[in-house]
Amino acid sequence: MKGDPMLATHVYFNGQCKEAIELYVKALNADVKTMMLKPDREDLVIHAEILIHSQLLMLNDFGDNDGDSKSGGYQLAVSFGSEEELKAAYSVMKDESTTITPLQATDYSPCVVRFIDKFDVRWAFWVQA
């Protein structure tokens, strides 16, 4: 799947992400692909990816820097095959948007940006590592 563009749902759990993942594994036979815990608080998930019926669901405990989700607990996450593709799409959408996380590299991607567009929709763009 690396490099193939896709749209994924990303859900915030405000401190209950590990519990939610356990439930989804038990109830839906979800496959945990990735789970990264916050180093100083291993009860909090900073990034997780699970497959439910072969579909990707991204999850974590943090909606904003303060740990609470303010836009309904979701975001639309779009992967790109390259940084150039990501930056081109972001340049079109960034006008009148609110930046949550500026363009940067992370442990799970060479380029990520998170923002709320002018229609109050939360987005995360990332390049698959």
d(CA 85, CA 66): 30
Residue 10's pLDDT is 87
pLDDT digits 0-9 by tens, 93-123? 898 999 999 999 998 899 999 998 887 878 8
CATH ID of 6-127, from 3.10.180.10, 3.70.10.10, 3.40.190.10, 3.40.50.300: 3.10.180.10
pLDDT digits 0-9 by tens, 41-77? 888 999 999 998 788 989 888 765 555 555 566 787 8
Per-domain boundaries in the chain: 6-127
Residue 1's pLDDT is 47
Asked whether the beta carbons of 127 and 108 are under 8 A apart, the reply is no
pLDDT digits 0-9 by tens, 8-23? 888 888 888 899 999 8
Mean pLDDT on 83-90? 93
